[in-house]
Chains A and B, each alone.
Chain A
Amino acid sequence: MKSSFLNGAVLSLAALLASATSYPAMAGSVANRIVVGRLGDAAYLDPNAPSVGVGEIPITQQIYEGLVTVSHDGTSIIPCLATDWKISKNGLVYTFNLKAGVKFSDGTPVKGEDWVWSLLRARDLKTSSYRFIAEAIAKVEATDKQVVITLSKPWAPFLADLCNFNMVVGSKAHYDKLGETAYNMTPLGTGPYMLKDWKKEKSILLTANPYYHVKGLPKTKEIMFTVVPDDNTRLMQLQSGQIDIANEIPFSLIDTLKANRNVKVSIFPSTQIRYLILNTTTPPFNDPKVRQALVYGINKKEISDLVAGQFGAPVAALVSEAEGKWHNAKLKVVSYTPETAKKMLAAAGYQKPVAFTLSIRSGNEIYTQVATLLKSQLDKAGFNVTIEMLERASMSAKYTSLTHQATVLQWIDDITDPSGITGWTVDYDQCHAWYTGLKDQPLNDLNTAASKELNAGKRLAMYHEIQKRVYDNANVIPLFRNGFAYACSSKVNGLYVSPFSVFFAKDLTISK
């Protein structure tokens, strides 16, 4: 009896193992489907829905398209559903000629009324966090061949704004049929892919749009996005062939991955920068001299080297180098000189170490590393840093209410123009000048003027000046930049990610 009991247990386990046999790659090795593993699911599939972030944008960008788009390198604006365009001399009227024969993925043709409805919805939907992109629009008129947009004021970045993921055409008839809530979840666009299946928190399956207006695209029939929250699991799935592409690869694991012949690692130039944000409404950072001293107590190179390794670099200017000419290259990273910081603090009347709390988001390896390094550096430079780790909601509540002293946040540009990051940083009304509480009216006026300036040379000079003044204010201190890290199967070709984190799926192929 005893032995039969034990045997039963062993046999049961053996039966389970035997039933598993050799496990085939779930779908990744199938040539007409590419599987992308990513951290989380989308909440909505409407680019103007309330929640639009890393979970949603990579999906909606395959489904929806706008009048124009950015080139792969992110430096120029190229036609998409418009063939060409004309801008009036006063910069107020934009006229776009439309590509003929464009259809939504259900086969219905795109009409002029779809453009009017879509662009005005992007402007008027109060719960959209990106409606500011369309706020300059005064009027939209459209036929099936042409779209004419009239602005309420000159707005220099408008063409770049039109490349943003929410300035796309949707079907008004589809919306009228479904209503707002269902429309948020049921996308219908003109892009290379359309939604086939969505299993909440598991996977999103896109299939090729049979009516896509570019012949030969997309190159792969199906793209499946699966949710794999754990970094190690995602990479093991890639190595086992269960997924074909993995994003957000921890920099510390890249060298290990490169040793695997079946895996390719790609680092794409990005506009992603981490910043130290100082609250200027409360001591000690209400004193500009303390902020300026702090700059000398930060070793940005050490932070970049230890956090991002060869895939990062220390930065001085607010605007990313990936924005090309807009980046003010004259601004240089200050050398780490803790003694200078101490002297500056002493000269400003601070005889004891200046104590402050650095609040950061918990559960994020990069923020933890940055905070730890900042503490070790600044504690030697006349400061006394206490690290406070808060989960995302508490952290958000803290900095939006300006009850923090310092925190670390990041920015990725949405468009090929500096107006996004500069507006966020200097405009108090947007979000307390990026949660620093600094009211610098002359700087804000300069930023407003720059957004209206139509002379390219003058506008460039204005943005360089804005970066210089932010550098001097030292309320937002850029720390380091890093590339976007992706890993994929060696069988995958055509993987490309723009500096704005636009993931292009239509060119992807996978060999058998």
Chain B
Amino acid sequence: MGWTRKDLLTIRELEPAEILTLVDTAASLQEIAGREIKKVPALRGKTIVNLFYENSTRTRTSFEIAGKWLSADVINFSASGSSAAKGESFVDTARNIAAMSPDVVVVRHGSSGAPALLARELSCAIVNAGDGAHEHPTQALLDLLTIRDKKGHFEGLSVAIVGDIAHSRVARSNIHGMKKLGMTVTVAGPPTLIPPYAQELGCKVSYRLEDAIRDVDVIMMLRLQQERMHAGLIPSLREYSRYWGLTLDRLAAHARPDVLIMHPGPVNRGVELSPEVADGPYSVILDQVAKGVAVRMAVLLLLAGGRGGEAHS
């Protein structure tokens, strides 16, 4: 199925065939990373603006590399030390950027719904690089690509996502994507970090790590942030990691020997993942990062790749 949307805002609104188009395109683009000259001219002359209101060197760099390998001109705009810091509203910033005619705006923002706002205001393509606790589509896509790469297929696989589900856009995007591709998902964590009506998202809920990781094909651990402790949601990081942290012996005792360990990064070693697990043989965390560039190239290509005439050979 070809791609026809102007923007990539959520996984929730995509058809399974659209998700596969993105994943398949990304798979084809992986070989570019192995070339001596890592450049193809597909987006030559296109301008991509990275509009990042939240600090994220990792994701922003990934988008930047993706754009540059496609020969686009990439501009980075971070909120601090800019007009936003001087109090310019998000909407005004958006309009100012629009006036400069970019082809794509990649936006990361702390408020859920911010990319949707941009998509209405701007006529160029908008890519959601993470909005509040809502969605992080490219993360889910690279997670899916990693899973297929290792397991060969999607249908019938089971996944456990463990951690602060309530505040996780990675969890939400993955749940939507995995459900659409025929996987079963269980979310696990302390009850205070599981959002109300979580089952309505289409997943099972568990409050015990041991139960959640038994018999699953993939365990995805989420980063736990210090703020949750201060907000009274958990008593201490120590207690969290004692009961929901993934250690080698828990893994050995309960999980399958062919399980994949994933994490969107950065890892809090010793909190949600012990170092041995993070760096161990089950972990595909670095593969995820590598696939991130291919996925973002695929997204940029499908959203901004030319508007030519009829094909001639």
Do A and B actually bind? Answer: no
- Chain A residues proximal to chain B, CB less than 8 Å: none
* Chain B interfacial positions (CB closer than 8 Å to A): none
